[in-house]
Structure 1
């Protein structure tokens, strides 16, 4: 097996998933938590229809990417965390050539921010993909100096009452 390293968001459900994945990997695969890859913190997410006029004005003035929710983050903050993770951890992994595969157990909003950075999409990209399926697996590969991604697994989920 290729040299692999596993990173996980510290949130409970991602840690459960990461532990299940790690249990199926060879014992020498490092398993690390990293708070940079946690989910978007929406803070006091107010009912979108019941926001005060002042909050509506702030949202409109800053835009959906830059609007920082009260006691939370903007998507720009998440994007910044994604770039920090790439530049402080993944670049180092790549430069040291210690690992060939990186497994990251994270969250949809973080992965969208991460892909926006990696794929160099404009932040207002209307063509970016729909939200990822819950518990899906995506693969990001570097091909001829450019990054490509694809969803390689999505569990079949059925809801019954």
Structure 2
């Protein structure tokens, strides 16, 4: 019965360019959750909204977003016809926690160590590992699936979040390996990916993530995510 109400599409949207994307020294004085979109980021999201509205074409939708300022701003700038009250804020969809106020030299050193240790496993001092984000995304998916059982479930689910969170959402959904997850890149700011419902009641990506490490060959299971 639950499958009957599955949305036609689950659409993951990365926020537009933020102040932190443009200048990472801002993390020294402004909390990550409080960063705003730049004007370029606003333009990116408005352009994504045009493409997204063409795709949805007036169908019903339900929108979740990370509660960070830049993701909330992005959700509203998509022009999907929702109000602040319609937007479902979900802390489990937030960015990976790297620290509180960040020391650029310390973060630079930790990024170097992370590259050696592994992006999925490395936990930032006073922050999270990729596996921590994976765990909270997993609990969100449990909540999302309960929504699918509702007779009034919308035809489209839109989730406005962060690049790493998007990759981990798909890793959990499609049961990707750690090696494959670590070989793919985040979508660009303001870009979105689509998980489309197939005739067999399974979802597939409209296109694979860009893979920066071609030495990692996707398994048949991983390729089936988009083929």
What TM-score, normalized to structure 2? 0.54
C-alpha separation in 2, matches of 1:48 and 1:64 = 14
1:2 aligns to 2:59 (yes or no): yes
Contact kept in structure 1, 2:94 and 2:161, CA below 8 Å: yes
Q: How far off is 1:79 after superposition?
A: 0.7
Other-structure match for 2:69: 12
Q: How far off is 1:49 after superposition?
A: 7.4
Other-structure match for 1:155: none
Q: How far off is 1:2 after superposition?
A: 2.9
Contact kept in structure 2, 1:93 and 1:99, CA below 8 Å: no
Unaligned runs of 5+ in 1: 152-161
Of stretches 36-45 and 124-133 in structure 1, the one that deviates more from structure 2 is 124-133
1:48 aligns to 2:103 (yes or no): no
Other-structure match for 2:38: none
1:149 aligns to 2:205 (yes or no): yes
CA RMSD of aligned residues (A): 2.7
Query: Pick from 126, 129, 142: which aligns with 1:71?
Result: 126
Bigger RCO of structures 1 and 2 (CA < 8 A, at least 6 apart): 2
Contact kept in structure 2, 1:118 and 1:147, CA below 8 Å: no
Q: How far off is 1:16 after superposition?
A: 0.7
Q: Which runs of structure 2 are paired with 1:111-150 in the superposition (5 Å)?
A: 111-125=166-180, 129-143=184-198, 144-150=200-206
Unaligned runs of 5+ in 2: 1-57, 208-227
- Counting matched residue pairs gives 141
Cα distance change of structure 1 residues 125 and 103 upon mapping to structure 2, 3 Å threshold: same
1:80 aligns to 2:141 (yes or no): no
Report runs of 4+ in structure 1 exceeding 4 Å deviation.
Answer: none
Other-structure match for 1:106: 161
Matched position secondary structure for 1:66: coil
What TM-score, normalized to structure 1? 0.74
Q: How far off is 1:110 after superposition?
A: 0.3
Give 1 or 2: higher strand fraction.
Answer: 1
